Every structure is written in structure tokens, then in C-alpha cells.
Structure 1
Amino acid sequence: MTRLDPDLYVEHIRNESARFREVLAECDPAARVPSCPDWSAADLLWHLTTVQWFWTTVVVDRPSEVDLAGEPSRPGTHDEALKMYEHWSHALTAALDGVPPDDEAWTWSSDPDDHTVGFIMRRQAHEALIHRIDAELAAGTESELDANLAADGVEEVLGVMYGACPRGARGSPFPMSCASTAPTRATRSGCSSDSSAGPTRRAARSTSTTRTATSSTRPPALTSNLMW
């Protein structure tokens, strides 16, 4: 399939990130995240905050190598954490707005053609989408998934997560495990992730269910969710 328009990826980042915040603002910070069993809602909020901080700095500063030295400190209260998340979420979309997608930028992909701002746009749209789903699972609510974005997510999992994991990535059987050798930010059961790599998903998704999803005629939104 044809990838989505770059501006549409940025719009999805904006919309999915806003929904993520909306859900977690009303969710008990101590609520468990079923899809990442060792994470609380507060952990999930902090994770996406650091992810969006990281990729903002990559887009703005264009480093040749990643540097985590400037990572912000985790706030002490849920309200402060929401404010920091909102800051970095807005900063990410502002940094991406209007930038040519073929501009060179550091990414964790082993494919040199993926070292672009366009790769970041696409990856962060799916990052925001899947964590919005995590937030809704924690809060016991749900909302619609965009079918085109979900279908693109299936293609990204197959083409990028399986096809372009970084050299030295640690692997496991289905579901995929793809974490780069860059410094790890947080490790949770079923969700080992760092800001530079795609999150390792997901203890709550069974091997048999994922394989069934990829070989069936399930809707793309469901297939994308299961594959993660």
C-alpha cells in the first residue's frame, strides 16, 4: 500500500496524542495497563513523554548519534506529569510541521533509506496510536481507530519491525521483539522500550492470536492492534 501523506502522519500524532492525554487525565495514575502488565497509567504517561521528548530533540538538533543526557526528570505529581507530556507532545508536532519528509535524520532503523524525518513521522504516529489504546485499556474505555492508519501500521510492523530491526537487536518469537542497542529507558514485562527504538510488545498478545490475525481477513484496525 502507499504510505500516508506526511502531513497526515503529523495530524495523527497530534490527534492520537491529544486523546492519550484526555484519557489519562481522567484515569487513576495507579491503574494497571493490561497490555503492559508491569506498567501503571503513570508509567505509560511518562513513557510517551520521554519518547516524544527524544524524537523532538532528534528532529530539532539532528544529531549523528543519540544522546540521552538531557532527558527531563520525572515530575512528582500526576498533574505535573500531564503538563510535561503536553509540552513535549506539542513540541514534537511543532518540530515536524512543514519539514520535508526526506530530510536526513537519525533513526534506529538498519535501513539507510529510513534515516529520514519521514520515518520519524510515520513511527511516531503509530507510537501515539498504540499507546492511546494502552491508555484506554487502563481506563476501561475505547474509541475508534483510523482504518488507513491501522492498515499502514500492519505494513510498518511487517516491513520495518521485522524487516529493519537495528543490528544487535534482541529478538524473540511472535510477537516481535525489536529493541536497539541504544541506552534503554525503561523495561517492563511485555513492554521493554526506549525512546530510540520501537517498543517491544507485548506479553498480553498471544502468539496464536497474532498469527491468526496476520493470516485472516480481520479489519486492519484489529490486526494492527493484535500485531503490536
Structure 2
Amino acid sequence: MDHGEYCKALFREIDRLAALLPDTDLTTPVPSCPAWDLGKLGGHVGATERWVTAMITSGSTEKLPFAEFEENIPTEATALSDWVAAGVDGLISALVAAPAHQQVWTLGGTTRPTAFWARRMLHEAAVHRTDAALALNVPASVDPVVARDGIEEILTILPYAPRLAGFGAVRGDGQSIELVATDVDARWRIDIGAASFAWRPTAAGQEPVEATVTATATVSNLYLFLWGRPAVPQIAGDSSLLARWSATTAF
């Protein structure tokens, strides 16, 4: 996916999320985010839209305080839906207008081109739109193109996630996880070392090396599984390794 495709897909995901919120009870629990109800989920997404927009438009290379963007969040369902939908307009305008070379703060305190946020916000929106759908008991899946990209995005950003200070729980010596998609020609290998992990896509037609554990599912379910959402793949091999990975890395 290129920058324009990320922006278009981001708009679609926010539009789908916003469409779930009107005429709902915002106190409905979100099982995949146990501390949240639908009101908190919508508020988080809308605040994050505005936080990232401010980061981009200001060209900030320092992390802006998030709390100020959580003020004055609408508490009525239709108003919250409209607020979330309006936030993506400013965000995409900022992403499109920003110079390609502009560097801003990103995860881990690293400065990167603003295009980083188009991809990151797409997957933020896709996962939380799925959370809202699960809370409302409506079908929840992710477009295969988005899911395929998202698997690689989460594997890329995991080392920068502040909550992973305990990543030692899945450190090992030569252990490996293979992710196999059933509906697209794609698979990924995660090799776990003593101090870190490395991942790579397995090329089409390449003979795979036997992994410690293999997880097989649709690409959408693999994506949701990596995000700690209820999508259980078919597992072959050492399931305890996959359980430790999930327990340590799920957001």
C-alpha cells in the first residue's frame, strides 16, 4: 500500500466506525478492550485523530501531551459519531499536505516521516472499528489488503511499544512462529532470539523451514489474532510459545 491508499483506507475505516455509533448505548462494554465501553472507545479514536493531526500540522518532533485532546468529548451517541467522523477529515488533510520529507515524533520517541502516521492510524482505526463491531455483535472482519499490510505493521512497531518492557517472556534461542494465511498467498516467519525477535515474509514458492509453532487462518483473523482480538487460528506445534507471545504482545 502507498501513502494515498493508506489515507483512503483510513477514511473508510473511520467512516465504518462512525456508522456503528449512532443510536447505540455508549455504556455498552467492549469485550476486546475490557476497560472501555463504546463511549470510551469512540472518545479514544477521536482524540487520537486530533492528537496526530496536531503532531503533523505543528511538525512536532516531541510527543505532544495526549490529555488535552481528551477534553470535551461528546457524550451522546450521534454527536460522538459525528465528532469521530469529523476528526478524520482534518487528519487526512494534514497527511496529504505535509511535505514528504517532514519528520515528526512517532512511537518509541523516534522521528520519522509523517507518512508513518497514515499507516499507523489506518490500523488504529481498523482494530477499534472491529472492537466496536464485536461489542455490538455485528460481523467483524478486515479487508485482506489492509490485514496483510497490518500484520507487517504490527511486527514492525512491536519493539517500540512502551508496554513491551516484559518482552523477555517470549525470548528464546532459535524458537520460531510461522503465520500462514489461507485466503491469500502470504506467510510470515518470526524468529525469537535471546534479546529480540526478527521477522520476514516467506516468499511464494519458497520451501518453508519447520517452525516451533504454526498458526493458520484467514489473513484477517491472523491480523486480529496478533492484535489480541478473538480470532483463533489453527495451531500446529508448540502452542505454549504462541500463548506466551500473545500474552506479552497483545495491546
Q: TM-score, normalised by structure 2?
A: 0.65
Which residue matches 1:90?
89
8 Å Cα contact 1:100/1:118 also seen in 2: no
In structure 1, what residue type is equivalent to 2:25? D
Question: How far did 1:96 drift?
Answer: 1.3
Q: Give deviations 1:164-200, integer Å, cap 9, x for gaps.
A: 335xx55345999xxxxxxxxxxxxxxxxxxxxxxxx
In structure 2, what residue type is equivalent to 1:138? A
1:67–1:128 Cα change, 3 Å: same
8 Å Cα contact 1:102/1:118 also seen in 2: no
Measure the CA separation in 2 of the matches of 1:11 and 1:78. 25
Q: Which blocks of at least 5 consecutive residues in structure 1 are unaligned?
A: 177-213
- Tell me, yes or no, if structure 1 residue 220 matches structure 2 residue 219: yes
- Tell me, yes or no, if structure 1 residue 151 matches structure 2 residue 144: no
- Tell me, yes or no, if structure 1 residue 34 matches structure 2 residue 34: no
In structure 1, what residue type is equivalent to 2:106? T
Which residue matches 2:165?
171
1:148–1:76 Cα change, 3 Å: closer
Identity of aligned residues (%): 25
In structure 1, what residue type is equivalent to 2:83? M
Number of residue equivalences = 184
Q: Give deviations 1:77-119, integer Å, cap 9, x for gaps.
A: 333322322221221112112545443121123555xx11121
Q: Which blocks of at least 5 consecutive residues in structure 2 are unaligned?
A: 171-212, 228-251
Measure the CA separation in 2 of the matches of 1:41 and 1:109. 28
In structure 1, what residue type is equivalent to 2:124? E
Measure the CA separation in 1 of the matches of 2:118 and 2:153. 12
CA RMSD in angstroms comes to 2.6
Aligned match for 2:54, one of 57, 63, 79: 57
Aligned match for 2:17, one of 4, 10, 20: 20
Measure the CA separation in 2 of the matches of 1:156 and 1:175. 21
Secondary structure of 1:36's aligned partner: coil
8 Å Cα contact 2:16/2:129 also seen in 1: yes
1:159–1:170 Cα change, 3 Å: closer
8 Å Cα contact 2:22/2:81 also seen in 1: yes
Runs of 4+ in structure 1 deviating by more than 6 angstroms, as ranges, are none
